[in-house]
A and B are shown apart, each in its own frame.
Chain A
């Protein structure tokens, strides 16, 4: 039974250490909550933070081995490490925001912490996946945990609706995805990314099954990243879920979804670029435009941000379209192809980080605006006069909104700038114009929030909160938004190095 032996066990364990810490940490938090009765429940959050910080420390110091591990089920390297950092940082902030609310309301959700850690584990697996099997399992770990997180506020109908809707539609989309995996497996004779790549290069895979399979998989990915026309769940779920969960979903799930979509598109590009390109172009334009136009009329800030998150998925798709464009172009295009692919990838990674910063800052503030337990202060009118009562919170939200609108010197501007400049370099000027028009439209609804906060009279039930930890954390994010907006170069170059490593 030689098949059972894992070659070089020590190396594999060292490589998997970040994954093991998160998984073990989830179990530890769960058991601690159940067994240690004397513990103050908010101490669980310190345990979670400890787990997440130790992932960062281990990953930074240990110099994780690179390349495929565990028989090629995972591919570790700069790409997976980059996303692990991103997910862990999002996890830390979500823990801080959630704990602030639990403390304030006196209600705590013991299942929150282990589920958060398991969701992060699923995302880490997804970003490192090198086999369709691992992709699916990572996707399911992440999704199952977030279904419960979204629907977990009891006695709150919108939250239950959000959880149930997300569960039903998510289950449906994962059935589509699985069906697609089955077709791709049938066409390529294997689920491993290297097997798929080999089958594609040799041209032995039958085209109809391949296109059908990848199309069905696109439904699954599209659902996770809230891409039109698979976006229907987004406003209701983002609105119904508590704000700390919405912030987590909007940033981490989108990043994980785009990480794997990017890798899968690059993997299948040699043979399927002709199919991906028109489909993704149309979807990108639809996603941007619909998201921005519907966001214009929202009076509820969480719904507005949900539609805005759909719009941002559209901008991110533009980056993928730009990466695909050279594969279809003439010989003159092929010469520039490598540069465009690298720049496009780097722009996407930069955008995902910038988007995570600004969305978390916004949801961090929305999170503390609630008046009664389980209900978020989500009507924009409630933010009237916030600048006079809570200058720090108002300034933070203002920075986040300006950044989402793409106004310099915020990180949102640089992120859009990188994406649009790659799109132009790829020769897709009309797409770039549509993108710019869309971001101009979006300025209106983002600025409206700022106008309400700074120029309207104070509302009767305006925010009086004292959750200074959450506000301080969001304020730190606002600082980072400006910092990365002013000095993006070093980070952008880092993203380029990260992306260069994934090669097919």
Chain B
């Protein structure tokens, strides 16, 4: 059963990735990326990483992609040929169905209905918040802290690129 679910989510993920790349419209691309993220969440769920799956949905599919879409829509480039056709409302349910299936499955996991067994029967508590936190602040403490530096660098970089040059005050 979990094998079937894995291949299901995996092929959806691949589909999402390919569709994202071949789309001509940035908005549709971004929507396919959301689709891919949701499928990835499904894979995490199959593997028993429930916390990761939820975070994938909340942070990537939720927060980050909303930001992406905002930016794309605000910068709205020229509408390309075929964009309207691809966004035809009749296609929406088709796009929305698989992620919905994944989400329903996820909800099942979270409610604790063990309707499917975890792959390879992980230890109790596997993928829990406690375990993830213990790894982050224990074994991978250095990596965790380094990522904060990387984010800071990205932040400084974005600010630096985004604003004009300042004159030296004494010149």
Contacts and interface: CB of A to CB of B under 8 A. Distances in A.
Contacts of A106: 167-168, 171
Given A71-B139, A103-B168, A109-B160, 4 more contacts: A4-B138, A111-B157, A115-B160, A133-B140
A140 interface: yes
A3 B139 contact: yes
A138 B157 contact: no
Interface residues of A, number: 44
Interface stretch (B18-26, B68-76, B144-152): B144-152
Given A141-B149, A144-B153, A152-B160, A73 B167 contact: no
Contacts, number: 93
Contact of A144 (B139, B157, B166): B157
Interface of B: 134-135, 137-143, 146-147, 149-150, 152-154, 156-157, 159-161, 164-171
A133 B143 contact: yes
Contacts of B166: 107-108, 110
Nearest to A374: B165
A74 B140 CA distance: 11
A41 B168 contact: yes
Nearest to B148: A23
A48 B147 CA distance: 22
B146 A138 contact: yes
A137 interface: yes
A486 B143 CA distance: 43
Nearest to B152: A118
A226 interface: no
B74 to A, nearest CB: 20
B159 A111 contact: yes
Interface centre among B153, B154, B171, by most chain A C-beta atoms within 10 angstroms, is: B153
A-B complex: 4 closest residue pairs judged by Cβ atoms: A148-B157, A111-B160, A106-B171, A3-B138
A1 interface: yes
Interface centre among B134, B146, B154, by most chain A C-beta atoms within 10 angstroms, is: B146
25 contacts: A3-B135, A3-B138, A4-B137, A5-B138, A6-B141, A26-B149, A27-B152, A41-B168, A71-B139, A73-B139, A73-B140, A106-B168, A107-B168, A111-B159, A118-B149, A121-B149, A137-B146, A137-B150, A141-B150, A144-B150, A148-B157, A148-B160, A151-B161, A154-B164, A154-B165
B143 A134 contact: yes
A137 B171 contact: no
Nearest to A148: B157
A356 interface: no
Given A133-B143, A163-B161, A23 B156 contact: no
Interface SS of chain B: helix
Given A125-B146, A133-B140, A134-B142, A115 B153 contact: yes
Interface string A74-110: 1000000000000000000000000000110011111
A288 interface: no
B139 to A, nearest CB: 5
Nearest to A41: B168
Nearest to A156: B165
A115 B150 contact: no
Given A115-B153, A141-B149, A141-B150, A107 B141 contact: no
A126 to B, nearest CB: 11
A453 to B, nearest CB: 31
A30 B156 contact: yes
Interface centre among B147, B166, B168, B170, by most chain A C-beta atoms within 10 angstroms, is: B168
B134 A3 contact: yes
A115 B165 contact: no
Nearest to A38: B169
A107 B160 CA distance: 14
A154 B169 CA distance: 18
Interface in A1-47: 1, 3-6, 23, 26-27, 30, 40-42
A155 B165 CA distance: 9
A70 B154 contact: no
Contacts of A6: 138, 141
Contacts of A144: 150, 153-154, 157
A137 B143 contact: yes
Given A3-B139, A71-B138, A148 B150 contact: no
A23 B147 CA distance: 12
A147 interface: yes
A26 B155 CA distance: 14
Contact of B167 (A30, A107, A111, A152): A107
A138 B146 CA distance: 8
A162 to B, nearest CB: 12
Contacts of B149: 23, 26, 118, 121, 141
Contacts of B164: 154
Interface in A148-177: 148, 151-152, 154-155, 163
A118 B153 contact: yes
